[in-house]
Chains A and B, each alone.
Chain A
Amino acid sequence: MDKRRVFQVVVAVLVIALVSIIAYAAIQYYGQITTTVPVEQAVWVDGKRYNEIIAETLSPTYGGCIVYANHTLENKGDTTAMVEFALINITDSHGNLVTDGSITVSWIVDGQKVDKTAILPHQTITFSIVIEFHYAIMPDTYTITTQVKPYVT
């Protein structure tokens, strides 16, 4: 290659490099905003957060009886919240799981037996946990753990 040709190549490279440097120097945005929002859970059970266990002891009862535990659900959100009720487990006084069907659990909202319900925005509803004991159940102290969960289709 002659000197002239070498010069032309060097100039071309420099031009390209210059253009690149100019392009990189253009601004990418005019401003950046960092927003921090404390978000509470939408649905509150008895006015409590999810990590606050609601413990209750009902009056002594008898086999063959049905007992009701009344609670509230409040939707603090702006959209309707669908929730479902779930039985987590039932244990006797020794911590043994009770799975023999001697205790049945259901939920009532507005007088209807339901397993899920909708809560309108900024509304509070009441619901009852219905616990039915078989008439031949072994006398004992039973613990029933239930949850109110977001209903996801």
Chain B
Amino acid sequence: MKFAKKKTAILALTLVLCIGIASAALLDYYGRIVTTVNVNQAIYLDGKPYYEDIIEDFNGTEIMPSTIIFTLHYLENQAQNPITMQFNYIITNSTGHEDHKGITVTYLEDSKPYSFVKDYATERGTLHVAVEDTGDGWLQWTYTYADNPTHTPKMTVAINYPHGFCITTFDDGSHDGWYYAPDVGTTVRFADYSGGTYEDWVKTSVSGENGNVLSVAIKKTRLPNEFLWHGYANYNGIPVWIEIDENYLPIGHATIREPISSPFTLAPGERLDFYIRYEFDEALEPGEYTIITKVVTPATPPKYTTGLTVKFKIYDTATYALLDTGDVSPEFYVAGVDPIGTRTFATKPVAVAAYDSTLGAWTVSLDAGTYVVLIKKDTTVIYPEVFTVTVPGTNSEDKEVWLEPSTLNVYEKASVTITTALLAYNATSGAYDVSVSNMNTTLYDKWLVTLMFTVSGTDKIIKAGRIYQTKISGLVPEEYSLDGAVKTTVLEDTDASDDGVTGYYCEFEEWEGGEIHRLDLYFNDYGATGISGTITVKLFQYYECLNTNLRWWTDQTSTISVVN
């Protein structure tokens, strides 16, 4: 028996060895090829790779508001296939924050080269007028006098009269080589009759055997995308108006650039010369702005954009807990709706979310897009909150997406106690040092009312709002100081239709639990007597929220008696 076992073991070992030898004897592969390729990017901007930034600082020139600047660049497709791309840009201000107010950026390409040819017959000869794109960034007007001029030829080209500018090269003794900017009344003489240049964007010339060919060339980057033009010539003493109507208004119409559609496609080897057009609004806040343009691959649209299951969470910043109870009601409205900013709001939500304990998140069925979501809680704990949110599309077959942002923070309302102290103005000492319990307009003329607001509630807040004071005729609030910030202009709200309150007010920013804030109000009756009444100071918190159905709290008040 023992011998039999030994035999079996030896046989098995032999078989294993045989198989091993057989395996090692067969080739895994006949050959291995290692291919190395240096790959460059497909699209080049200004001939540069992606990591080389193209910096434009406008030659260090300060840009004035109401200015339009063009810069010229090009894109080139080095690939063998058409490539689709688009422009994206971001503007940041000197603090580094995104700020698109007052600056408009557009991307343009040259239109079909502008061309104009026309002969103007006069009793003393024919004037030939031609406008052409020279192909190197200039638009050139040429006036050719057919005959030898007996008078010195004259030439004017006006762009967008009467608000644009005008170039004159003619000579009548005083008008040779002028640049006019009629809208600002600027006139600059830059050349004599022999021709010349103005800055780097106007060129004029006089040529021909007898000086009978005049030209004005204007750099295209100084011309609007689309403009009206007209001209004037003097043919041996006869005025010739070019492209002008009976009211002497221009009718020459040129389009030299047009917006580039987005996204756009470049064929293999194709080059696109394009302009970045920066328009600085006249109301632009002065400062240093950085505008970054990127040429990017358009995002591929997601497969599913409708009937999505949208998930999100609600976070209570005071309790550090996610809210999943039924007394929270997240309502979704179409974008642009403001459910809290008006006193009456009757629009129905497009959807209301419910908590899904299996998924551990709030869910709602929506299509991709932008929405406004209102979160309100039935219990008097948290402020109602609105968010503008985005529902993205998805390629996932389960069609589940997270809301952007995925977590919505809500804030609990803190409580506030108000204490009031009054000091009357002591004419003798020249200070507010008389402690009083009311404002007696017979005894005093000026008062300092100090209100202290003690905010309670850890991690709770009082949302930014207004502190209103009842207006009493004859008693003028001259100045106020909130937490040391002095304001000499006291604001007044005279319209109760929008917010339900009127009176003098000062604004306050968000307060947090544990803080104490001080408001000093300076009143003056300017010697008037017989004034009486009650000044009610109301802490009208969360001024953004005026919807009466959502203002579940009572605004704290404090009263000051005015007697005589």
Question: Are A50 and B37 in contact, CB atoms less than 8 angstroms apart?
Answer: no
Mask, A17-40, CB within 8 Å of B = 1, is 000000000000000000000000
Assuming the contacts A62-B78, A63-B79, A65-B80, asked whether A143 and B36 have C-beta atoms less than 8 A apart, the reply is yes
Q: Kindly identify which residue among A65, A141, A147, A150 contacts B32, using a CB–CB cutoff of 8 Å.
A: A147
Contacts of B30 in A (CB 8 A): 41-45, 50, 73, 83, 147-150
Q: Which residues of B contact A66 (CB under 8 A)?
A: 80
Most chain A CB within a 10 A radius of its CB, from B29, B34, B39, B78: B39
Nearest chain A residue, comparing its CB with the CB of B35 = A144
B81 within 8 A of A: yes
- Complex Cα–Cα for A150 and B78 (A): 38
Total A-B residue contacts, Cβ distance less than 8 Å: 152
Judge if B66 is at the interface, Cβ distance under 8 Å: no
Q: Which of A45, A65, A133 contacts B31 (CB 8 A)?
A: A45
B-binding segment of A8-16, A53-61, A108-116: A53-61
A143 near B31 (CB under 8 angstroms)? no
**Alpha-carbon separation in the docked complex, A72 to B83 (Å):** 34
Is B308's beta carbon under 8 Å from chain A? no
A62 touches B39 (CB 8 A): yes
Taking the complex as formed, is A137 at the interface, i.e. its CB lies under 8 A from any CB of chain B? yes
CB of B530 to closest CB in A, whole Å: 81
Q: In whole angstroms, how far apart are the Cα atoms of A125 and B233 in the complex?
A: 78
Does A145 have its Cβ within 8 Å of any Cβ on chain B? yes
Q: Are A71 and B39 in contact (CB under 8 A)?
A: no
Within 8 Å of chain B (Cβ to Cβ): is A1? no
The verdict on A69 contacting chain B, using a C-beta distance below 8 Å, is yes
Interface check B42, CB cutoff 8 A = yes
| With contact pairs A44-B30, A45-B31, A54-B32 given, residues A64 and B83 touching in the complex (Cβ less than 8 Å) | yes
B25-73 contacts to A, CB under 8 A, are 26-43, 49-50
Known: A63-B42, A64-B78, A142-B37. A53 touches B32 (CB 8 A): yes
By the criterion CB–CB under 8 Å, are A142 and B39 in contact?
A: yes
Query: Could you say which interface size class chain B belongs to?
Result: 20 to 34
A88 at interface by CB-CB < 8 Å: yes
Give the docked Cα–Cα distance between A123 and B531 (Å).
117
Q: By the criterion of a CB under 8 Å from any partner CB, how many residues of chain A are at the interface?
A: 49
Given A45-B31, A69-B33, A60-B42 contact (CB < 8 Å): no
Query: B140 contacts the other chain (Cβ, under 8 Å)?
Result: no
Does any Cβ of A come within 8 Å of B104's Cβ? Answer: no
The residue from B29, B49, B81 contacting A64, defined by CB atoms under 8 A apart? B81
Q: Which of A55, A60, A135, A148 is in CB contact (< 8 Å) with B34?
A: A55
A54-B32, A147-B29 known; A141-B79 Cβ under 8 A = no
B residues less than 8 Å from A135 (CB atoms): 42-43, 79, 81, 83, 297
- Evaluate contact between A56 and B27: CB separation under 8 angstroms: no
B144 close to A (CB within 8 Å): no
Residue of A58, A60, A139, A148 contacting most chain B CB atoms (<10 Å): A139
Q: Is A120 an interface residue (CB 8 A)?
A: no
Give the docked Cα–Cα distance between A131 and B41 (Å): 15
Q: Which residue of B has the minimal Cβ distance to A119? A: B30
Closest residue of chain B to A134, judged by CB?
A: B42
User: Contacts of B78 on A, CB cut-off 8 Å?
Assistant: 62-65
Whether, in the assembled complex, B77 has its beta carbon less than 8 Å from a beta carbon of chain A, the answer is yes
Residues of chain B within 8 A of A136, CB atoms compared: 42, 297
- Please state if B40 and A148 are interface contacts (CB–CB under 8 Å): no
CB of A107 to closest CB in B, whole Å: 11
Please state if B36 and A55 are interface contacts (CB–CB under 8 Å): yes
Q: Is the CB of B79 within 8 A of A150?
A: no
A122 touches B (CB below 8 Å) = no
User: How many Å lie between the Cα of A61 and that of B31 in the bound state?
Assistant: 25
| Least CB distance, B501 to chain A, in whole angstroms | 57
Q: List, in ascending order, chain A residues with CB within 8 A of B31's CB.
A: 43-46, 48-50, 52, 54, 147-148
Contact B77 A129, beta carbon cutoff 8 Å: no
Which residue of chain A has its CB nearest to the CB of B297?
A: A136
**Are A150 and B34 in contact (CB-based, < 8 A)?**
no
Contact B33 A60 (CB under 8 A): no
State in angstroms the CA–CA spacing of A56 and B35 once bound together: 5
Q: Is the CB of B38 within 8 A of A149?
A: no
> Do B39 and A133 have beta carbons less than 8 Å apart?
yes
Provide the residues of chain A in CB contact with B77, threshold 8 Å: 64
Closest residue of B by beta carbon distance from A60: B38
Contact, CB under 8 Å: B42 / A41: no
Q: Tell me the nearest residue of chain A to B268, going by C-beta.
A: A64
Q: A136-B297, A139-B50, A150-B27 are in contact. Are A64 and B42 (CB under 8 A)?
A: yes
- Contact among B26, B37, B43 with A61 in the assembled complex (CB-CB below 8 Å): B37
Contacting residues, chain A, for B79 (C-beta < 8 A): 62-65, 135
A67 to B366, CA, bound (A): 45
A132 to B49, CA, bound (A): 20
Q: Does A104 contact B (CB under 8 A)?
A: no
In the assembled complex, the Cα of A143 lies from the Cα of B28 at a distance in Å of 21
Give the distance in Å from the alpha carbon of A12 to the alpha carbon of B33 in the complex. 76
Question: In the complex, what residues of A have CB within 8 A of residue B28's CB?
Answer: 50, 147, 149-150
Complex contacts, A43 vs chain B, CB 8 Å:
30-31
| Nearest-CB residue, chain B, relative to A55 | B34
The complex places the Cα of A114 from the Cα of B523 at a distance, in Å, of 92
| From A41, A48, A88, A139, contact of B41 by CB (8 A) | A139
A141 / chain B contacts, CB cutoff of 8 Å = 36-39
B33 touches A147 (CB 8 A): yes
Contacts of A53 in B (CB 8 A): 32-34
Neighbour of B33 across the interface among A41, A62, A146, CB < 8 A = A146
Q: Complex Cα distance A152/B81, Å? A: 37
B34 contacts across to A, CB distance below 8 A: 53-56, 143-145
Query: How far is A145 from B75 in the complex, measured between Cα atoms in Å?
Result: 33
Q: Give bound CA distance, A144 to B38, whole Å.
A: 11
Q: Which residues from A are CB-within-8-Å of B83?
A: 64, 135
Interface code B1-44, partner A: CB below 8 Å = 1, 0 otherwise?
A: 00000000000000000000000001111111111111111110
A58 touches which one: B36, B43, B80 (CB < 8 A)?
A: B36
Q: Which 5 pairs between the two chains have the least Cβ-Cβ distance?
A: A64-B79, A45-B31, A63-B42, A64-B42, A62-B78
Could you name 14 residue pairs across A and B whose Cβ atoms are closer than 8 Å? A43-B31, A50-B28, A60-B38, A62-B79, A63-B41, A64-B81, A133-B39, A136-B297, A140-B39, A141-B37, A141-B38, A142-B39, A144-B36, A144-B37
Question: Told that A56-B34, A137-B39 touch, could you supply 16 new A-B pairs with CB distance under 8 A?
Answer: A56-B36, A57-B37, A62-B40, A62-B41, A63-B39, A63-B79, A64-B43, A136-B297, A137-B42, A139-B41, A141-B39, A143-B35, A144-B36, A145-B34, A146-B35, A149-B28
